[in-house]
């Protein structure tokens, strides 16, 4: 089966988009490949097609390990593949080890072609052992810039990919990203252990996307004005949750329709986020006001405008978020609202908030250990749910700097801190089956207990993740059973998780690279973002493309600077 035959058979397309065929050929030739493609450029096809082609020819290379930090994208792609008759599975944080084993067994013994996992799963020794037995023919690394300390969204868990490559000798890697500067490109290839440099890139030029910077003292009024002038689906990005909700409510009043606007941030439950995302994708909601938790992996082609109310931390973030507009090739707008005096002060304050002094980081470490009641020399491997507001209130710590300190401690290897982690509901039955008759249970309680006992084999010995608690009526029954001591019930919750990767230390060593070097890179990215917003001499797109290494780009002719000239 050829790549084009696979494209037609499984996806119904007659031909590839630009650069897809070259990437697929490089992968099928067994070459490590870094593919740079703009948002909406069709990255997933670049690992799906070669996997299907290899799997049709060699049983021992039928599986692709897809590493992505985006659980929502993971689930969407698995569902889409299954709908096309292609077997795929996913393993991610929150799944019980029993379900993970089933997924891995299916990939080992069944006709599966894709195994999606989060980079955090690679930290599990048991998971890595199982990977070595699987018929993996390709490793695909999505959002590959996350492995680079030069990148704008470095994640320490990505560094585990190099160890996985050692378990799978000879298996090529396809790294994919929509945003990378020249130094990030070099770092990605080094961190992933490329046999030789191999970068395939598509120009970041978007002919249909019009970049605009608008200076204003009243950003809310400007958002309403833009939305009144540009019809169609819209995303409005803001920096924090409170502002997302307040602006959405204000816009609803201005637009005289509650259904037209909604807000989205990581503090909502999974169900709330899914419902709001689907309503927006289906056109039931026109405008979504969101933090940067929204948009990654969402395949909606007809977004007509993306508005940034606050400056992002980098041009990488801005380009990726703005690039969610106009994926259908029709005219779309990326608008950045800029208040020079206020925004310059705010964005520079982020430097202090993001890189607090070493002494403060050490203090946060010890206060967090005290809060979690972890003594010196203990805690290794333990995982805790942490509500940062409670931690900061009890230990008298500032919230933003505490978040940053916990991320710095993660990069230093002392802990693994994950923001906005959602725990699935769990249950353990404490009363033996033959004694339940003594508790005079209602019919609904008996029915639910029977479902739990039949569905979860280890529920008497340890807490089991359950599906039933998603229904409000069953949640109430579970609460009533827990109150009577029949079960232990831990409801679904959204918070942060902290895993101890070392025993509690008395003295910390925080290397200069964690502070001075990364702080200087952060300042450099902020200055580039400010320069983009402040300058009005050069084409907006030319400035963006030059930042990503495209020095010979021509003026777009339709950004605000080009039009003014």
Q: Does one domain contain both 452 and 513?
A: no
Task: Encode pLDDT of 296-342 as tens digits.
Answer: 656 788 999 999 999 999 999 899 899 999 988 899 999 999 999 89
In 3D space, the residue among 391, 395, 393 whose CA is nearest the CA of residue 419 turns out to be 391
For residue 422, what pLDDT is reported?
58
Q: Does one domain contain both 476 and 377?
A: no
In 3D space, the residue among 175, 190, 209 whose CA is nearest the CA of residue 27 turns out to be 175
Q: Does one domain contain both 40 and 180?
A: yes
Q: Which residues of 366-380 are buried (b: 16+ CB within 10 A; e: fewer)?
A: bbbbebeebeeeebe
**Position 526 in a domain:** no
Q: Residues 510-538: what's their mean pLDDT?
A: 87
**Position 530 in a domain:** no
Q: Does one domain contain both 28 and 176?
A: yes
160: CB partners within 8 A, 6+ apart: 119, 122, 123
For residue 86, what pLDDT is reported?
94
Q: Residues 117-130: what's their mean pLDDT?
A: 84
| Domain final residue, candidates 201, 227, 259 | 201
**Position 255 in a domain:** yes
Question: Of the ranges 85-99, 363-377, 549-563, which one carries the lowest mean pLDDT score?
Answer: 85-99
Per-residue pLDDT for 423 more than 70?
Answer: no
**Position 529 in a domain:** no
Q: Do residues 24 and 16 lie in contact, with contact meaning Cβ atoms separated by under 8 Å? A: yes
Q: Does one domain contain both 163 and 289?
A: no
**Position 514 in a domain:** yes
Q: Does one domain contain both 401 and 332?
A: no
Query: How far is C-alpha 82 from the chain's CA centre?
Result: 22
Instruction: Identify the three-state secondary structure at position 178.
Output: coil
Angle at 172 between CA 169 and CA 175, to 5 degrees: 130
Question: Of the ranges 10-14, 107-111, 277-281, 467-471, which one carries the lowest mean pLDDT score?
Answer: 467-471
What mean pLDDT, rounded, does the chain reach?
89
**Position 343 in a domain:** no
Q: How far apart are alpha carbons 35 and 19 in whole angstroms?
A: 9
Element (H, E) at 321: helix 315-322
Q: Residues 369-382: what's their mean pLDDT?
A: 93
Q: How far apart are alpha carbons 408 and 399 in whole angstroms?
A: 14
For residue 458, what pLDDT is reported?
83
Q: How far apart are alpha carbons 258 and 281 in whole angstroms?
A: 17
Look up the CATH number of the domain holding residue 414: 1.10.10
Question: Of the ranges 16-30, 198-212, 406-420, which one carries the lowest mean pLDDT score?
Answer: 406-420
Tokens of 406: 């916990």
For residue 152, what pLDDT is reported?
61
**Position 525 in a domain:** no
Q: Which residues of 226-245 are buried (b: 16+ CB within 10 A; e: fewer)?
A: bbeebebbbbbbbbebebbb
**Position 275 in a domain:** yes
Per-residue pLDDT for 21 more than 90?
Answer: yes
Q: Does one domain contain both 419 and 430?
A: no
Checking DSSP bridges between strand 487-490 and strand 426-429, what pairing results, if any? antiparallel
What's the pLDDT band for 173 if we cut at 50, 70, 90?
very high
Q: Does one domain contain both 57 and 195?
A: yes
Q: Does one domain contain both 270 and 401?
A: no
What's the pLDDT band for 493 if we cut at 50, 70, 90?
low
Q: Does one domain contain both 386 and 515?
A: yes
For residue 497, what pLDDT is reported?
83
In which domain, by residue range, is 330 found? 209-338+535-564
The beta-carbon contacts of 339-345 under 8 Å, at least 24 apart in sequence, are 339/215, 339/216, 339/217, 339/219, 340/215, 340/534, 343/310, 343/311, 343/533, 344/530
Query: What's the first-to-final CA gap in the chain, in angstroms?
Result: 53
Q: Residues 274-282: what's their mean pLDDT?
A: 89
* DSSP per position, 416-484: EEEEEEEEPPEEEE-S-GGGGGGG---HHHHHHHHHHHHH-TTTTTS-EE-SGGGSHHHHHHHHHHHHT
Q: Count structural domains, the chain.
A: 4
The highest-confidence range among 43-52, 248-257, 408-417, by mean pLDDT, is 43-52
Element (H, E) at 359: helix 358-371
Q: Where are the beta strands (DSSP E) in 278-380?
A: 287-290, 303-308, 332-338
Query: Within 10 A of 536 (CB to CB), how many other CB atoms are there?
Result: 12
For residue 38, what pLDDT is reported?
75
Q: How far apart are alpha carbons 343 and 349 in whole angstroms?
A: 10
Q: Does one domain contain both 178 and 325?
A: no
| Domain final residue, candidates 148, 166, 201 | 201
Per-residue pLDDT for 511 more than 90?
Answer: no
Look up the CATH number of the domain holding residue 255: 3.40.50.300
For residue 235, what pLDDT is reported?
96
Per-residue pLDDT for 509 more than 90?
Answer: no
Q: Residues 381-396: what's their mean pLDDT?
A: 88
Q: Where are the beta strands (DSSP E) in 227-347?
A: 233-237, 261-264, 287-290, 303-308, 332-338
Q: How far apart are alpha carbons 122 and 129 in whole angstroms?
A: 10
Q: Does one domain contain both 512 and 405?
A: yes
For residue 512, what pLDDT is reported?
75
For residue 413, what pLDDT is reported?
84
Angle at 432 between CA 430 and CA 436, to 5 degrees: 100
For residue 452, what pLDDT is reported?
92
**Comparison of pLDDT for 420 and 458, the residue scoring more:** 458
Tokens of 344: 């310059």
Instruction: Identify the three-state secondary structure at position 85.
Output: coil
């Amino acid at each position: 089966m050829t790549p084009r035959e696979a494209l037609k058979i499984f996806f119904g397309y007659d031909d590839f988009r630009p650069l897809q065929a070259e990437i697929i050929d490089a992968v099928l030739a067994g070459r490590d490949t870094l593919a740079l493609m703009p948002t909406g450029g069709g990255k997933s096809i670049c690992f799906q097609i070669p996997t299907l082609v290899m799997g049709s020819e060699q049983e021992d290379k039928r599986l692709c390990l897809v590493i992505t930090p985006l659980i929502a994208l993971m689930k969407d792609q698995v569902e889409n593949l299954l709908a096309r008759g292609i077997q795929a599975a996913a393993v991610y944080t929150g799944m019980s080890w029993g379900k993970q084993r089933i997924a891995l067994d299916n990939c080992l013994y069944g006709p599966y072609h894709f195994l999606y996992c989060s980079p955090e799963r690679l930290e599990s020794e048991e998971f890595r052992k199982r990977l070595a037995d699987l018929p993996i023919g390709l490793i695909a690394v999505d959002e590959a810039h996350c492995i680079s300390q030069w990148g704008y969204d470095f994640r320490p868990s990505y560094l585990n990919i190099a160890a996985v490559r050692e378990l799978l000798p000879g298996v090529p890697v396809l790294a994919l990203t929509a945003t990378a500067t020249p130094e990030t490109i070099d770092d990605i290839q080094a961190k992933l252990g490329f046999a030789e440099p191999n970068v395939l890139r598509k120009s970041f030029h978007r002919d249909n996307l019009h970049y605009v910077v608008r200076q204003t003292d009243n950003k809310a009024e400007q958002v309403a004005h833009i939305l009144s002038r540009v019809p169609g689906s819209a995303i409005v990005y803001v920096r924090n949750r409170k502002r997302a909700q307040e602006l959405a409510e204000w816009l609803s009043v201005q637009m005289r329709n509650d259904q037209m606007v909604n807000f989205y941030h990581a503090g909502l439950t999974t169900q709330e986020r899914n419902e709001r995302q689907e309503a927006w994708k289906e056109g039931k909601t026109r405008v979504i006001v969101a933090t940067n938790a929204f948009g990654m992996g969402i395949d909606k082609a007809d977004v007509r405008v993306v508005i940034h109310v606050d400056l992002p931390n980098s041009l990488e973030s801005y380009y990726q978020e703005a690039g969610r507009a106009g994926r259908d090739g029709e005219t779309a707008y990326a608008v950045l609202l800029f208040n020079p005096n206020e925004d310059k002060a705010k964005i520079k304050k982020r430097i202090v908030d993001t890189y607090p002094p070493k002494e403060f980081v050490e203090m946060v470490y010890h206060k967090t250990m005290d809060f979690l009641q972890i003594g010196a020399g203990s805690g290794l491997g333990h995982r805790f749910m942490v509500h940062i507001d409670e931690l900061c209130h009890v230990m008298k710590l500032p919230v933003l700097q505490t978040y940053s300190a916990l991320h710095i401690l993660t990069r230093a290897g002392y802990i693994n801190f994950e923001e906005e982690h959602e725990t699935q509901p769990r249950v353990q039955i404490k009363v033996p089956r033959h004694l339940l008759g003594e508790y005079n249970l209602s019919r609904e309680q008996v029915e639910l207990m029977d479902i739990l006992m039949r569905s979860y084999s280890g529920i008497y010995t340890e807490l089991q993740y359950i599906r039933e608690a998603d229904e409000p009526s069953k949640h109430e029954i579970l609460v009533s059973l827990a109150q009577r001591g029949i079960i232990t019930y831990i409801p679904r919750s959204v918070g942060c998780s902290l895993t101890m990767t070392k025993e509690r230390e008395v003295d910390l060593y925080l290397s200069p690279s964690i502070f001075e070097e990364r702080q200087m890179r952060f300042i450099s990215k902020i200055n580039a973002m400010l320069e983009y917003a402040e300058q009005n001499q050069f084409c907006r797109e030319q400035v963006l493309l030059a930042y990503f290494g495209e020095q010979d780009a021509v003026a777009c002719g339709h950004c605000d600077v080009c039009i003014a000239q």
